[in-house]
């Protein structure tokens, strides 16, 4: 019973664990705020990916493919939001010493990152096409993909957040924090580029 789902779980884990927008934000949040205060961001991002992959499996990704203007609007909105976040992260100093990033990102912020990311929709559509045989109908496939991607994303983002926390323990000076935050801000800004590649 479980054996046919293992390839889907592995695919979802690799897709959610590789560096990208959500992983960079989770690392930065873990370094800046710790695990507990980063939970809303991580849960929001995992829930956002779960709804995107579920919706893609249910057929909404076809709407995005049919309406290039909607895709463009999502890309623009997502890119502007991520540039704003990258600047906030890049300007932040050591934890609790800088008002530029005085509180962690919210549940809706984490979910919105996924909802506006056409690559997440493409990944959901690809997963739906690849693993459609695991469910008998779009509704069950949506539930299967949403659950799998949501849980693996929550696990992956937790690992990235812990990595950020461990990194924070190594940083002793304000200069080291500035360098880390600038690097994370630049990585987040660079992660926007794949959104603009043709799907």
| Phi-psi label, residue 93: left if phi above 0, alpha if psi -120 to 50, beta otherwise | beta
pLDDT above 90 covers a percentage of the chain that reads 27
From residue 103, give the alpha-carbon distance in Å to each of 16, 124, 186: 24, 31, 20
pLDDT confidence bin for 61, thresholds 50/70/90: low
Q: Which residue has the higher pLDDT, 153 or 96?
A: 153
Structure tokens at 66: 């049919």
Q: Encode pLDDT of 90-137 as tens digits.
A: 887 666 544 445 566 889 989 988 988 777 887 787 788 778 778 888
pLDDT at 64: 63
pLDDT confidence bin for 43, thresholds 50/70/90: very high
pLDDT above 70 covers a percentage of the chain that reads 86
CA distance 121 to 127: 10
pLDDT at 99: 40
Q: Rounded mean pLDDT of the chain?
A: 82
Q: Which residues lie below 8 Å from residue 42, measured CB to CB, with a gap of 6+?
A: 26, 29, 110, 154, 157, 158, 161
Q: Which residue has the higher pLDDT, 7 or 193?
A: 7
Rank 14-28, 130-144, 153-167 by mean pLDDT and report only the highest: 153-167
pLDDT at 98: 44
Q: Encode pLDDT of 172-193 as tens digits.
A: 788 888 888 888 888 878 877 7
CA distance 81 to 113: 8
pLDDT at 100: 42
Q: What's the chain look like in SS3?
A: CCHHHHHHHHHHHHHHHCCCHHHHHHHHHHHHHHHHHHHHHHHHHHHHHHHHHHHHHHCHHHHHHHCHHHHHHHHHHHHHHHHHHHHHHHHCCCCCCCCCCCCCCCHHHHHHHHHCCHHHHHHHHHHHHHHHHHCCCHHHHHHHHHHHHHHHHHHHHHHHHHHHHHHHHHCCCHHHHHHHHHHHHHHHHHCCHHHHCCC
């Amino acid at each position: 019973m479980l054996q046919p789902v293992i390839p889907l779980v592995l695919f979802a884990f690799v897709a959610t664990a590789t560096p990208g927008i959500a992983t960079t934000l989770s690392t930065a949040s873990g370094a800046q705020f710790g695990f507990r205060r980063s939970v809303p961001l991580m849960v929001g991002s995992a829930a956002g990916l779960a709804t995107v992959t579920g919706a893609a499996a249910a057929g909404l990704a076809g709407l995005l493919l049919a309406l290039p203007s909607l895709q463009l609007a999502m890309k623009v909105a997502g890119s502007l939001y991520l540039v704003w976040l990258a600047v906030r992260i890049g300007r932040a100093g050591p934890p609790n010493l800088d008002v530029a990033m005085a509180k962690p990102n919210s549940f809706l912020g984490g979910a919105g990152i996924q909802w506006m990311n056409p690559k997440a929709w493409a990944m959901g559509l690809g997963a739906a096409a690849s693993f459609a045989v695991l469910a008998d109908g779009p509704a069950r496939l949506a539930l299967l993909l949403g659950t799998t991607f949501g849980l693996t994303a929550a696990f992956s983002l937790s690992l990235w957040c812990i990595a950020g926390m461990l990194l924070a323990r190594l940083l002793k000076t304000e200069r080291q924090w500035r360098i880390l935050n600038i690097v994370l801000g630049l990585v987040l800004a660079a992660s926007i580029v794949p959104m603009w590649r043709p799907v």
